[in-house]
A and B are shown apart, each in its own frame.
Chain A
Amino acid sequence: MTAADLSALIKAHPLKLACGLLALLLAPGIYILSGRIDDAETLFEQKSAEGARLASNLRNAALLPDQLSSLAVSTKKIEERLVRASQLANNLQYFYQQEAESGIELIDVRQTSGTVQKGRPGSSYIGVGFAVSVKGTYPVLLNWLRRLENGKHYCRILSFSTGTSRVKREAPLDFNLSIELLGQP
C-alpha cells in the first residue's frame, strides 16, 4: 500500500478510522485502569481495616484511663496485704498478734516455705506456707479461723483437722492447719 493509497483510504473513511484509532488508544487505557482499580480496591480494603482497627482501639480505650487508675489503686491495696517470705519475724508476729486479740492458745506456728523463695514464671505472687496449731474452745477457735480467712493477709487453707476426745467432749479443741498467705519473695 502506497502513501497515496493510504491517503485515499483516510479520505474515504475518516470517521471510521478516527473511531478505530480512538478505540485502539482507549482499549489499553481501560485495561491499565482496571488493573489500577483492582490495586486501589485492595489498598482501600487494607487501609479501611487498619482505620477501623485504630478507631476501635480508641473507642474501647475511652474508659481505660479511669479503669486503669482504679485498678492501680486495687493493686496497691493488694500489695499492702502481701507478706514477704524473707521477713520471718514479721510473719510470725502476725499470728502472735492474733493470739493476743482472739484468745486462742497458739501451740505451734512455723513458716514452712523457705525465706528465699522464687515466684512461678509469669506470676506476681507466691504462697508463703505456714503450719499452725492452736487450742481453744470451739467458738473462740471458729472466730479466730474467720479472722484468719478474712484478715489482713490473703489466706487459703490447704489442710485442716480438728478432733475431740470421745470420752471427754468438753475439753478444749485443737485446730491444726496448713495454710498459705499470699506474698512476695
Chain B
Amino acid sequence: MLSLLKKKTEASAPVSVAWHPNFRNFERLPDTKVVRTSFLANGVAILVAAVLLLWFTYEAYQLRELNRQIDDVQRQIDRDKKPSEQAIALYKKFQAEAASVNEVDTFLKSRPIVSELLLHLGETVPAYLALDRFDVREIGASLTATVRGAPDQASGRASTYLQQLKNDKFFTSRFSEINLVSLNRDSTTGGLVLEITLKFKKP
C-alpha cells in the first residue's frame, strides 16, 4: 500500500521500453503523499498542543482551587486562634485544679479504711473465737485471737476460720494473701492462740 504512495521519479520509472510515450511531467503533478503527511503532522501537532494546553489549564485551575481552600482554612485559623489559645490556658488551669483533686483522692485511697476492717471483722468473727489483737501496718494486717475449746477441737476451728477469711469477698478484695503463721498454746489461759497475717493488695 505504501509503495503506491511513493512519489514516482524518472529514476524509478520502469526500465523497460514503454509501449507508448510517457508524457507525464512528474515535477508538476500534485504530490498526494505530501498532502497526507502534512495533514497528519498538523493533526498531531494540534493534538499535542491541545493536550498540553488542557493540562496546563487543569493544573492552573487545580492550583487556584488549592489556593482558595488554603485561604478558607487560613481564615478559619485566624478566627479560631485566639479562642483556642484562651481554651488552652483554661485547660491548663483545669489540669492544675484537677491535680489537686486527684492528689486528695490518691491520699485517701492509698491506705485502707480501718474502721471498715474492724467492723467487718467484728461482724464475721465466730463465737468460738475471741479477738486479742489487731494491727494494721504498712504492707498488711495481723490478727491474734484465742480459740475456745479443747486443743484438738480448737485447731480445727482455727483452720475453719482461716478458710472463712479466705472465702470472704470483703477480705479477698483488699488482701492478696491470708496466712496462718502460728497456732500456740497460751500458758496463762491454756487456750490455743492463732496469728493470721493479711497482706494488702498492691494498688
Binding site for B on A (CB under 8 A): 13, 15-16, 18-20, 22-23, 26-27, 29-30, 33-34, 36-37, 40-41, 43-44, 47-48, 50-51, 53-55, 57-58, 60-61, 64-65, 67-68, 71-72, 74-75, 78, 123-125, 127, 138, 142, 145-146, 149, 154, 156-164, 166-167, 169, 177, 180, 182
**Pair B104/A182 contact, Cβ less than 8 Å:** yes
List 25 A–B pairs whose Cβ atoms lie within 8 Å, in order of A's numbering: A16-B41, A22-B53, A29-B56, A30-B52, A33-B56, A41-B66, A43-B70, A51-B77, A54-B81, A61-B90, A64-B91, A67-B94, A68-B94, A71-B94, A142-B119, A149-B115, A154-B108, A157-B111, A159-B137, A160-B135, A162-B133, A163-B132, A164-B132, A167-B188, A167-B189
Q: Which of B69, B76, B104 contacts A44 (CB 8 A)?
A: B69
A156–B138 CA distance with the chains assembled, in angstroms = 12
Decide if B70 touches A47 in the complex (CB within 8 Å). yes
Interface Cβ pair total, 8 Å cutoff: 178
B125 interface residue, CB < 8 Å from A? Answer: no
| Contact status A15-B46, CB under 8 Å | yes
Closest to A70 in B: B97
A29 CA to B63 CA in the complex, in Å?
A: 12
A125-B104, A182-B104 in contact; A57/B88 too (CB < 8 A)? yes
- Are A55 and B76 CB-contacts (below 8 A) given A61-B90, A158-B138, A164-B132? yes
- Are the CB atoms of B49 and A33 closer together than 8 Å? no
